[in-house]
Amino acid sequence: MTPIRKILSALLITAGAAAAVAAPEVKVDKMTFDGGKAAEGSVLKAQFKLTNTGNEPLKILSVRPGCGCTVVSYDSIIAPGKSGLIKPEVNLKGFRTGQNSRGVTVNSNAANNPTLHLMIEFNVTAPIEISETYLNFEEATKLTLTLSSAKKDLKISDIVFKPQGGQNVPGWATDAPIKVQYSFAPTDTPRDDGLKSYKLDINSPGTGKESVAGNFEITTNHPDKKGISIGGRVR
């Protein structure tokens, strides 16, 4: 083989080797996003940073959220040495309180990791936490409840009592719903979780005679919890 042919052959081999290793590679800043505490009914916004550590453009081929409650926006092409974002948003309306998680699957043309399984973890809290789940006025004339919320100017505009249907309703309860007298004010009790506490005093709407079961309907100014329904019994 002549020297020129050897040189050409070496150049072709080198070019072929370079072409063989030219590929995008992905590096993600975290596989799990910690959303911390998030109120039920709110929208949790997560973010993952993807960096292209290869030498060809990284193409995001598909992004599949794990449920219909999640929508995702993302950068579809990431140049070599650059970074892009995957930004899921989880609608927490109707979520149970407590620890929850949702996943997002990202498919790309990355040579090292073409499929990423990203996870969003979060602790769902009630928009308004309330200390009681049942109000029994058969013996009491006034009950005191504690409400807690991230909303710093929580207000109550109305409370009514609605007797349950399908029962013998005493005469005093026939003009339902019955207006309930109450007082509501913030407390000075600090909380470690940043929520604000409120004191709610509710007076019995009964006459002290016949007992009836029903629901106390509380109207608030919270955008994610405009109404609270608490079962109870009054006399």
Looking at the DSSP bridge assignments, the partners of residue 107 are 62, 115
Domain 128-234, CATH among 1.10.10, 1.10.15, 3.90.320, 2.60.40: 2.60.40
Question: Cα–Cα–Cα angle for 39, 98, 130, nearest 5°?
Answer: 65
pLDDT of residue 210: 81
Asked whether the bond before 163 is cis by omega within 30 degrees of 0, the reply is no
Report which of residues 22 and 108 the model is more confident about: 108
pLDDT of residue 20: 56
pLDDT of residue 17: 47
pLDDT of residue 84: 98
pLDDT surpasses 60 at 88:
yes
Q: Where are the domains of the chain?
A: 24-125, 128-234
Domain 24-125 CATH superfamily: Immunoglobulins (2.60.40.10)
Put simply, whether the predicted model's pTM sits higher than 0.75 gets the answer: no
Q: What is the mean pLDDT of the chain?
A: 89
pLDDT surpasses 80 at 2:
no
pLDDT of residue 192: 81
Q: What is the average per-residue pLDDT within 154-163?
A: 95
Residues 6 or more apart from 187 whose CB is under 8 A from it? 146, 197, 198, 199
Topology agreement, domain 24-125 and domain 128-234: yes
147 vs 155: CA distance, rounded Å: 11
Q: What is the average per-residue pLDDT within 178-191?
A: 92
